[in-house]
Amino acid sequence: MTLGNKKIVLCVTGSIAAYKAATLTSMLTKAGAHVDVLMTDSAKQFIGPATFQALSRHPVNDNLFIEKKEGQIAHIDLADQADLFIVAPASSHTLSKLAQGEAGDMVSATVLATKAPVWIAPAMNVNMYQHPAVQANIKKLISYGYRLLEPDEGYLACGWVGKGRLLEPDIIFSQIESFFSSPKKTLDGKKVLLTAGPTRESFDPVRYFTNYSSGKMGYSLAHVLQKRGAEVTLISGPTYLKTPEYVTRINVTSAIEMFEAVMKRESEMDAVIMSAAVADYRPKEIFHQKMKKQEGSLLIEMVRNPDILLELGKRKDKQILIGFAAETEHLEDYAKEKLRKKNLDMIVANNIAEEGSGFEKDTNKVCFYYPSGRYKSFELMTKHHVSEHIVDALEDLFKVSDLS
């Protein structure tokens, strides 16, 4: 019961992402929080109050003028008693009302009346989110002291691709847990180098070879490592993801650039985690002008890129070295061979052909393999929870290293 008896007011507004608020309600309630759900009329067009009442075990407040209890002024009582307010999803309409100080419904009136911290988690079409009026309202709310839970980028319900997706419930939940707890700085004083994302291998000024890696796994790891006290250096290939707070990010594009950035810093580190999907090959020749279409087939000669993980394994002294193996078949055999060949302390293996696992997904199903032959497998879970398990394993590896 990590959030035992914390009073959290969850404000649900008009967005298709309202269904995610139901999942968040369930997670918070199971963690011991007292969750009061407020809904706008627009929110009820997407999901019914009965769902939230069943999940929170409390009546839903959806009318400013009808009190659930006799003699109660609900929006004032809720405002006074809350430990935290979360508006998720926050529609552009609600953001505008809060920014202008309007109080025409249960959500806006209660939020304006509270002195508790207020978090806003926008969810809307990418063009709406980027509109100057919406951005101005968000900036104004931040100036009031509200905390922005910035939306994800990806495929939206409206069919557009871009920024506007409500953060996944487990990420919001994790941030709430962090807010109410003082995490143990179990990695305080440790320096960790982390790679993430894909690399791009240029062919001409407008074309390149790459892979499907989104960087989500590596960025989630960076967040968890930093929260546990590590000094994190993140070397990232091209990605749209936001840099976690207090993490030093170094942007690279190609495998050679990543190799150089890693080798420049690895000797200063206590651990290196290679979660990036680094291209094995690059075009032998890069054309400085756009290559024009020609008759017949096009043959491109590829040459090997430096093997960053192999070189790290050769150089390793007392550092902890963790690699990743993304495979489509013979997962255990390939992972164990990579573990041995590259002198790793642990390898995180996953079959990207399995449903819900692999690149661009928010979930993953992994197995940890160790040089001793020990292994540990996990069920499908969010990448945030995978990151927690990886960092737990890193802490155990540090304990063994400190004893040797």
Pick out the residues of the known binding site for CTP. Answer: 280, 290, 306-309, 324, 338, 342
Mean pLDDT of 120-131: 90
| Residue whose tokens read 């007011």 | 9
Q: Which pLDDT band, with edges at 50, 70 and 90, does 154 fall under? A: low
> Mean pLDDT for the chain?
89
Q: Do domains 7-180 and 191-285+300-403 have the same CATH topology?
A: yes
Of 154-158, 159-163, 339-343, minimum mean pLDDT range: 154-158
- pLDDT tens per residue, range 54-73: 999 999 988 877 666 665 66
Beta partners for residue 349, in sequence order: 325, 367
Mean pLDDT of 189-194: 96
- pLDDT tens per residue, range 203-219: 999 999 999 899 999 99
- How many other CB atoms are found less than 10 A from the CB of residue 132? 7
Q: Which sequence spans correspond to the domains of the chain?
A: 7-180, 191-285+300-403
Q: Which pLDDT band, with edges at 50, 70 and 90, does 1 fall under? A: low
Q: How far is C-alpha 67 from the chain's CA centre?
A: 39
Instruction: Output the pTM of the full model.
Output: 0.64
Q: How far is CA 173 from CA 2, 21, 169, 234, 259, in A?
A: 11, 11, 6, 24, 36
Indicate whether 94 pLDDT > 90: yes
CATH of 7-180, one of 3.30.540.10, 3.40.50.300, 3.40.50.1950, 3.40.309.10: 3.40.50.1950
Q: Which pLDDT value is given to residue 69?
A: 64
Mean pLDDT of 8-36: 93
**Contact status, residue 198 vs residue 277, Cβ threshold 8 Å:** yes
Q: Superfamily for 191-285+300-403?
A: CoaB-like (3.40.50.10300)
- pLDDT tens per residue, range 317-368: 889 999 999 888 998 999 999 999 999 999 999 988 887 777 777 788 899 9
Q: Which pLDDT band, with edges at 50, 70 and 90, does 156 fall under? A: low
φ, ψ dihedrals at 350, nearest 5°: -150, 150
**Contact status, residue 332 vs residue 347, Cβ threshold 8 Å:** no
Catalytic site positions: 158
- The runs of H, that is alpha helices, within 101-167 are 106-113, 126-130, 132-143
